């Protein structure tokens, strides 16, 4: 092999062996050791090397093959049409390059029509139907031959045994088997309780669930199938990708979301951005979008390479997970004194952001996950939620990795910790003088969903506390008194001081629900704060209500009701509120109802609404004298259910609660009231 130096050759060989090993870990053992983006990086390096030095290419290279060979545990079957893979595109530039390449190949300057689909993050499955009846289900395997898992397919939701559309002869329907996020959490909890390795993500759980010898185990995983295309025989079902999807749906397959057909790459990019923003809210994992040329004629003209179709590309989103080393566990003292374990990590990039700390939620979770100092752990960050540790990678545990010790004293004020009866949490009882408790309280008070004081973050709060300016929430509203000193502080220019003081001033007239939330009453989150504001309308109203009155509010249970009443009985808390009032706080009171049309009735909205946001719909109910709740109980009067309604609708039906569509609800309110 002339022209290629030994080092390059060795690197290519190493990359091939590494990729093969990771393929097996991923496809056969469902327990990867590296994140998807690390895999993609290795893959690209090998592909680029082979592109620069074609003499390095060998037939068995992972760049030319898909997946991993079948494991030998199952009967095998050849796919009538190979199950190919997709090329990846990272970033808008690569998407544009894909579009330019296709238009060059097709010889057109006109914008192309594309269907933008979700790229489900699961395991692919090939379903063979003969004369409309399911005869075989096969995994992708190496792309040519897969493992026969028909017995398991019968346990997966969304796979019709018989098609609802005519389909003569043999056809292959392809799609992805996924586990819903909600089911995934339960599966992992059970696994870690049994001391088993947790699944890094729903995909691994789905892939493992699909390849069980005992189909009862597949059923337990509650998997779902989403169809995305055809193998053999698909040509008869429409001239466009969109038409084929419509056929699949009519035949009885579920499509998670309606895919969008758009013209031109700019529109494609806009749709991918929408999907990226919606990702954290979906109940199943996606790792990107698949962009497909909509016209089947154009697809056929473009054809395939040995790896995948030329007419489609996977636009990959940044991975929401990464693997890194856990260096230490620190305990953070929250606003109610409860200690939270926080993992200090070797910094790692997750979803485009460097993460060096991640929450372990609470002591129970930490013990359940059995993370040890020095472990390689899976870290996850979805949307703007706080990064969390999913669990350790047991295969990579170094010998002597230490079980973290539980603290006995508060890390901030050294007070011996207590454990309240019936609770597992460790708490610092030093309510008055623990500096970390106060800092957490103040950080919560100014946060975006509370008083929303922009320009006052954790760093400034700690600094101002050290300077002795902050002793309680009211002292934040009085920072104006330290204006001269503020202006002298390093890093605080005149305009930032002005802006900060303006933001503080503006926060004095926040809506009542924000103020209630900002108070930091245990168990009172945003939703409960809203319920309290709507129900009692003024701060005085809330302060003087009894536990029974709190309990009467829909969605507030007896325990929370007790906790709220107790909080408002504590003279220290009342004094704190009095100081806030002295400092000028004047919450905007919630509006009184304008009618008693819905008096005595409680509404729950679920599923997708077309005309309103859920918040607006709930506000309308309140305006008309009714109540709105988030969960269905025997006290619910009406459930308004839109498309996609799930467990709440089912519960309403089982309790015999009246169910309405959005249109019926609208018809029941007076014209002009919304």
Angle between helices 181-193 and 202-210 (to 10 degrees): 80
Cβ proximity to ligand IVH: between 4 and 84 the closer is 84
Cβ proximity to ligand IVH: between 69 and 394 the closer is 69
> Would you give the binding string for ligand IVH spanning residues 267-306, x where CB under 6 A is met?
-----------------------x----------------
The Cα–Cα gap between 171 and 244 comes to 13
> Would you give the binding string for ligand IVH spanning residues 192-211, x where CB under 6 A is met?
--------------------
Q: Are 41 and 112 in contact (CB under 8 A)?
A: no
In sequence order, the 6+-apart residues with CB closer than 8 A to the CB of 639 are 603, 604, 605, 606, 632, 648, 649, 652, 657, 658, 659, 660
The full DSSP string for 295-349 is BHHHHHHH-B-SSSBTTEEEEEPPPSEEEEEEEEEEEEE-TTSBEEEEEEEEEEE
Q: Quick one: DSSP state of residue 225? A: E
In sequence order, the 6+-apart residues with CB closer than 8 A to the CB of 446 are 452, 453, 456, 457, 461, 476, 507
Cβ proximity to ligand IVH: between 15 and 178 the closer is 178
Q: Which stretch binds ligand IVH (CB under 6 A): 115-123, 449-457, 585-593, 648-656?
A: 115-123
Cβ proximity to ligand IVH: between 40 and 552 the closer is 40
Least distance (Å) between residue 316 CB and ligand IVH: 9
By CB under 6 A, tell whether 98 contacts ligand IVH: no
Q: Interface residues for ligand IVH in 210-229 (CB under 6 A)?
A: 228-229
> Would you give the binding string for ligand IVH spanning residues 116-145, x where CB under 6 A is met?
-x-xx---x---------------------
Distances (CA, A) of 389 to 320, 365, 392, 581: 12, 10, 8, 41
Least distance (Å) between residue 273 CB and ligand IVH: 18
By CB under 6 A, tell whether 326 contacts ligand IVH: no
Q: Interface residues for ligand IVH in 48-87 (CB under 6 A)?
A: 84-86
369 assigned to active site? no
Cβ proximity to ligand IVH: between 124 and 192 the closer is 124
By CB under 6 A, tell whether 391 contacts ligand IVH: no
Cβ proximity to ligand IVH: between 222 and 310 the closer is 310
Q: b/e map of 21-36 (b: 16 or more CB within 10 Å)?
A: ebbebbbbebbbbbbb
Q: Are 580 and 474 in contact (CB under 8 A)?
A: yes
Q: Which residue has the CB atom at the shortest distance from ligand IVH? A: 124
Q: Are 579 and 472 in contact (CB under 8 A)?
A: yes
Least distance (Å) between residue 503 CB and ligand IVH: 45
The Cα–Cα gap between 522 and 140 comes to 50
User: 99, 176, 375, 472: which one contacts ligand IVH (CB under 6 A)?
Assistant: 176
Q: Which stretch binds ligand IVH (CB under 6 A): 11-19, 113-121, 361-369, 464-472?
A: 113-121
In sequence order, the 6+-apart residues with CB closer than 8 A to the CB of 101 are none
Q: Which residues, listed in sequence order, are joined to residue 331 by a DSSP beta bridge?
A: 341
The Cα–Cα gap between 232 and 138 comes to 14
Q: How many C-alpha atoms does 428 have within 13 Å on its Cβ side?
A: 27
The Cα–Cα gap between 538 and 454 comes to 25
Cβ proximity to ligand IVH: between 177 and 358 the closer is 177
Size of the site for ligand IVH (CB under 6 A): 15
Assign residue 169 a region (left: φ > 0; alpha: ψ between -120 and 50; beta: otherwise).
left
Least distance (Å) between residue 235 CB and ligand IVH: 14
Cβ proximity to ligand IVH: between 206 and 312 the closer is 312
List 119, 292, 369, 441, catalytic entry: 119
By CB under 6 A, tell whether 478 contacts ligand IVH: no
By CB under 6 A, tell whether 351 contacts ligand IVH: no
Q: Any idea which residues carry the catalytic annotation?
A: 119
Q: Which residues bind ligand IVH (CB under 6 A)?
A: 84-86, 117, 119-120, 124, 176, 228-229, 290, 308-309, 312, 314
């Amino acid at each position: 092999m002339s022209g290629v130096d030994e080092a390059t050759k060795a690197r290519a060989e190493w990359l091939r062996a590494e990729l093969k090993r990771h393929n097996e870990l991923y496809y056969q053992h469902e327990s990867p050791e590296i994140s998807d983006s690390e895999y993609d990086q290795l893959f690209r390096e090998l592909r680029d090397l082979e592109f620069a030095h074609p003499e390095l290419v060998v037939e068995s290279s992972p760049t030319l093959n898909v997946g991993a060979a079948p494991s030998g545990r199952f009967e095998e079957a050849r796919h009538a049409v190979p199950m190919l893979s997709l090329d990846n595109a990272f970033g808008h530039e690569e998407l544009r390059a894909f579009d330019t390449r296709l238009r060059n190949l097709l010889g057109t300057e006109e914008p192309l029509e594309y269907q933008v689909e979700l790229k489900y993050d699961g395991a692919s499955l090939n379903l063979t139907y003969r004369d409309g009846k399911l005869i075989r289900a096969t995994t992708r395997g190496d792309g040519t031959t897969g493992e026969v898992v028909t017995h398991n397919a019968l346990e997966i939701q969304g796979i019709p045994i018989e098609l609802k559309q005519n389909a003569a002869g043999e056809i292959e329907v392809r799609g992805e088997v996924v586990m819903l996020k909600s089911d995934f959490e339960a599966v992992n909890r059970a696994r870690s309780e049994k001391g088993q390795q947790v699944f890094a993500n729903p995909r691994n759980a789905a892939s493992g669930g699909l390849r069980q010898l005992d189909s009862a185990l597949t059923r337990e995983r509650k998997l779902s199938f989403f169809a995305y295309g055809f193998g053999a025989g698909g040509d008869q079902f429409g001239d466009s990708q969109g038409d084929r999807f419509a056929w699949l749906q009519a035949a009885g397959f579920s499509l998670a979301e309606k895919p969008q057909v758009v013209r031109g790459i700019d529109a494609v990019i806009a749709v991918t951005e929408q999907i990226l923003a919606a990702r954290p809210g979906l109940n199943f994992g996606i790792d990107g979008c698949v962009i497909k040329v909509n016209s089947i004629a154009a697809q056929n003209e473009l054809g395939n390479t040995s790896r995948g179709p030329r007419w489609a590309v996977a636009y990959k989103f940044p991975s929401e997970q990464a693997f890194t080393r856990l260096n230490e566990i620190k305990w953070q003292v929250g606003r109610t004194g409860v200690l939270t374990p926080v993992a200090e990590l070797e910094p790692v990039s997750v979803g485009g952001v460097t993460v060096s700390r991640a929450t372990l939620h609470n002591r129970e979770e930490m013990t359940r996950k059995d993370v040890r100092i020095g472990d390689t752990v899976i870290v996850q960050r979805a949307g703007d939620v706080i990064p969390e540790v999913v669990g350790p990678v047991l295969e990579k545990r170094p010998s002597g990795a230490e079980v973290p010790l539980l603290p006995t004293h508060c890390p901030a004020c050294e007070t011996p910790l207590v454990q309240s009866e019936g609770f597992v949490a460790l708490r610092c009882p030093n309510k008055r003088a623990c500096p970390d408790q106060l800092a957490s309280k103040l950080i919560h008070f100014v946060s975006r969903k509370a008083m929303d004081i922009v320009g006052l973050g954790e760093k400034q709060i700690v600094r101002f506390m050290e300077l002795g300016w902050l002793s309680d929430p009211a002292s934040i509203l009085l920072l104006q008194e330290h204006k001269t000193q503020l202006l002298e502080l390093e890093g605080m220019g005149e305009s930032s001081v002005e802006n900060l003081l303006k933001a503080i001033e503006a926060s004095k007239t926040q809506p009542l629900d924000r103020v209630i939330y900002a108070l930091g009453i245990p168990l009172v989150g945003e939703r409960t704060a809203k319920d309290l504001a709507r129900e009692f309308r003024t701060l005085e109203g809330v302060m003087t209500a009894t536990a029974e009155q709190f309990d009467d509010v829909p969605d507030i249970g007896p325990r929370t009701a007790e906790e709220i009443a107790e909080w408002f009985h504590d003279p220290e808390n009342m004094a704190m509120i009095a100081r806030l009032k002295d400092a000028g706080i004047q919450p905007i009171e919630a509006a009184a109802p304008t009618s008693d049309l819905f008096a005595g009735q409680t509404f729950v909205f679920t599923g997708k609404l077309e005309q309103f946001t859920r918040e607006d719909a709930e506000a309308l109910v309140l305006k008309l004298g009714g109540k709105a709740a988030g969960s269905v109980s025997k006290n619910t009067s009406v459930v308004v259910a839109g498309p996609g309604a799930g467990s709440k609708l089912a519960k309403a039906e089982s309790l015999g609660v009246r169910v309405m569509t959005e249109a019926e609800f609208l018809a029941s309110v007076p014209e002009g009231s919304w």
